[in-house]
Amino acid sequence: MPIAQAREIAPARRLENVRYAIRDLACIADEVARQGHKILPLNIGDPLNFDFQTPAHMIEAVYKAMRDGKNGYSSSSGIPPALDAIRGEAARKGITNIQDIFVTSGVSETVDICLTALLNPGDNLLTPCPDYPLYSAVLAKIEIGLNTYYLNEEDGWQPDLDDIKRKITPRTRGIVLINPNNPTGSVCTRKMLEQIAELARQHNLIIFADEIYDKLIMDDDPHVAMASVAPDVPVITFGGLSKNYLAPGWRIGWGIASGEASVIKPYLEGVNKLLRSRLCANHPEQYAIKPALEGPQDHLLEVKRKLRGRRDLTMKWCADTSRVSCVAPRGAFYAYPSIEIPEGDDVFVTELIRQKHVMVVHGSGFGQRPGTKHFRIVFLPDEKTLTSAYAAIADFMRERYA
């Protein structure tokens, strides 16, 4: 008779530090939904859950690629038409001195590959606080400790330059800049970008510029690409189809590597080793990149019109609701209100789901300054849905904190 296995199979200890608050809340929501309640979701930034649609010419391009037999592997860096289109997009963004371009399975894979190719045990990477939790998850996976710098709420969530300077150590290898920012919706000024670039020069740092929301600027000021203000500094600019082009499920992202060749080329050899080891990104979907970047951009006008109205509705609610204040977001589709409550913001969002069936994400899931409490709102839903959700949150706060 075979001997029964007596010991459980434990996961790696490094996974204890992996958190993804945005989706971890789904367990609580599923429990509430099983009780027959409809959840109002303001937690996940997927435009296709709401009244947004992937542009038809992009869908047709992928469909044609599948019909034409483009269903095998592509080259590891991506197909030539996609790479050429991304190069043209980089030029429109003012990015020069380009050393490499590569297509990935979403920006999530770009982040994973670029961080893994850079960091050795004992190194650190400056990441914003608050930040998108993918970065801390990848760092935990490769066993790199966090070294976070604060975004300054009193300065419109701009990076705290003095805090960045304090956090740079001899083992700091780079800095992550999410611009427009998730979760705050802030957009960096040109002056701030120039100051960060100068720190990178002084300390021999690479900059990872996550610009996945660069075309979703709600106000008139244009987005400024990090790499455009510092062509000599090693920068990897992250972009993709998920947000600007309303195709998150296609998992198509890319990296644009720029800077002095002699400085960045050795690192890019490591990046390309990892690109080859995972074979390639989704092949048929890569045929949407060229029509997305070079084709009609009409959908962006409608998307930004909707986002402006929903941002303004959100800000009015924040202004009219006691215990809530919020810096107005300028890009992406997130707001990050501060709340004055006598308990943790994780308790706040959990009880909000259970009692009012509205899902937001606790600020502590993104990181925040000690002593502050926030929650992140995704304001993608239509005005009627947002109005209902905000009324429910206000009722919850009155009932719980009166």
Q: What is the mean pLDDT of each run of 10 residues along the chain (402 residues)?
A: 69 75 73 87 91 97 98 97 98 97 97 97 96 93 94 97 97 98 96 98 98 94 95 98 97 97 96 96 97 97 97 97 96 97 94 94 91 96 96 96 86
The whole-number pLDDT of residue 98 equals 98
CATH 3.40.640.10 in the chain is located at 56-294
The whole-number pLDDT of residue 20 equals 61
DSSP assignments along 6-74, one per residue: -S--PPPGGGGG---HHHHTHHHHHHHHHTTPPPEE-S---GGGTT----HHHHHHHHHHHHTT--S--
The whole-number pLDDT of residue 221 equals 82
Could you tell me which of 130, 76, 132 has the C-alpha nearest to residue 104? 76
CATH 3.90.1150.10 in the chain is located at 13-52+298-401
Q: Who's near 210: CB < 8 A, 6+ residues apart?
A: 107, 111, 132, 176, 177, 178, 179, 238
Say which CATH class 56-294 falls into: alpha beta
**Span 13-52+298-401: which CATH code?**
3.90.1150.10
Q: What is the dihedral of CA 362, 363, 366, 372, to 10 degrees?
A: -150
The whole-number pLDDT of residue 10 equals 82
Contact (Cβ atoms closer than 8 angstroms) between residue 25 and residue 219? no
Could you tell me which of 81, 102, 105 has the C-alpha nearest to residue 287? 81
The whole-number pLDDT of residue 18 equals 72
The H or E element containing residue 258 is strand 253-258
The whole-number pLDDT of residue 5 equals 60
The whole-number pLDDT of residue 400 equals 94
